[in-house]
Every structure is written in structure tokens, then in C-alpha cells.
Structure 1
């Protein structure tokens, strides 16, 4: 439990936000590829998946390793567009807004999903659950002017 608290403390820092977006996704993609979709390094801290979305502008497939919050039904996930507490929304969130049909690699399975941006009361309820799940998201939100996007991914 102490190691989780330590990771939460470190991940809420500005220094982590500067370095992590360049280091962790590249490592996750490499390990995910080498293990044929069975392992994500970041999933040892938080549950993770690899999202394959369609580029909003390019129309090309874009693979992005992401932390996620699996929902109790087992058929859906919440994605948090925190971008490590950096000012802009993450690219993958624009992709899902433009093309909500996507795929996730989850525990070695390739699953077709549909994404939906959460708004108003539904977003507030999900945000409370997300903060309980991973408290550093509150520090990310405090650093940015934008409202962090939350998406629900549901199996198609």
C-alpha cells in the first residue's frame, strides 16, 4: 500500500507530467507488441488497455496505451483525458469525438468498442468514482483550465 501511495504522490507532480507522456507510452507500446498484447507495464500500477482509434484528421489507425477504470459490468471502461495534467486535451480524445467506434486490447483480447463523452450528472458521478480510484487525477484537474474529458467505452 505504501508503494501505491508513493506512486500516486509522484504521479501528481509537474515533473512527472513533463516526462511521463514521452516515456511511458513508448515503453508500453514496445512491451505490448513484444508480448503480443498480453502485458502493459503501466498496468502494474493501474489497469490499462491499448486503444486503437481512427485519427480525427488523418483517418489512420492510432494505437495509444492508456490507464483505464474498468466498470463493474466487465463490458465497459472509463477513460480519463487527463493528459498528465498538461493544458491541452490528449489527441486520442479528439479521435474518439470524431470516430467513436474503436478497438481496445484488454488482457490480451481485441475488443470492438463505442466511445461516448460523459457530460453533466453522468460525468460528475464518473468523476467521483475516478477520484476514488486514482486520487492524483484531482491534482491534474487543478493544474488545467479545461475540464478533463471522461469517456465511457462499451463493447459493441
Structure 2
């Protein structure tokens, strides 16, 4: 990851991502939030199912759209219970609107953004 990309990520919590549709194979662009925990960058959301997450399970390569640049990245889906706890313990308390930590650990998608 370049310094320019790192600076852009630090400035932007709201980002767009383009995934590949798991059934259609077509590009799907959505707006979401990125988070920082354990010195790395993550995508998650409140508990529940997400199409973008299902798309990343099928096709882990995606595009992270930052102001002025499109960055090819890779999703590392996090299913390990201990890692999920460590990451969500950093993310959830900082969100004033978030429901309980345990519901996020049990039911939220969690993806690390890996830079190629």
C-alpha cells in the first residue's frame, strides 16, 4: 500500500467498493464504511446479511474506490472466532449507534481489506 492510499484511507471512512455479483458475474458498486482496527483496514456492518459480503465470499477480488483513485484489493473473510472478537472489540465500542458487541461478533460480516 502506498503512502497516498494510506492517507486517503485515513481521511475517508465512507468508501465505495465494487464487487463481482456472485450469481450474475456483473460489477456491483455500493457505498459502505471502512474501519481501522489492529493496525489494518476492515469492512463490516451491523448484524445481518449483506449482498456485498456474499459477493466477496464468491469472488474475493474487488475494487476500493477512494477519492481520485481505484485500488484493486482482495477480501480476507474472517471467520475465526478469536480474531472476530479482537477486531470487533476495537470497532464496536467506538460506534455510538451500535448495538451490543456480542451481536456483532455473532452476526456481522467481517472482511480485512488486503492490498495487492
Structure 1: 5+ residue stretches without partners? 1-43
Structure 1 partner of 2:23: 57
Structure 2 partner of 1:77: 41
Which one has the largest radius of gyration?
Answer: 1
User: What is the SS of the residue equivalent to 2:107?
Assistant: coil
Task: Report deviation, 1:64.
Answer: 0.6
Higher strand share: 2
Higher helix share: 1
Distance 1:54 1:133, change over 3 A: same
1:137 equivalent among 92, 98, 107? 98
Structure 2: 5+ residue stretches without partners? 1-10
Structure 2 partner of 1:30: none
- 1-side partners of 2:43 and 2:94: how far apart? 12
RMSD: 2.6
- 2-side partners of 1:106 and 1:51: how far apart? 9
Pairing 1:46-125 to 2, within 5 Å after superposition: 47-70=13-36, 76-82=40-46, 88-119=48-79, 120-125=81-86
* Off by >4 Å, runs of 4+ in structure 1: 139-142
Q: TM-score, normalised by structure 1?
A: 0.57
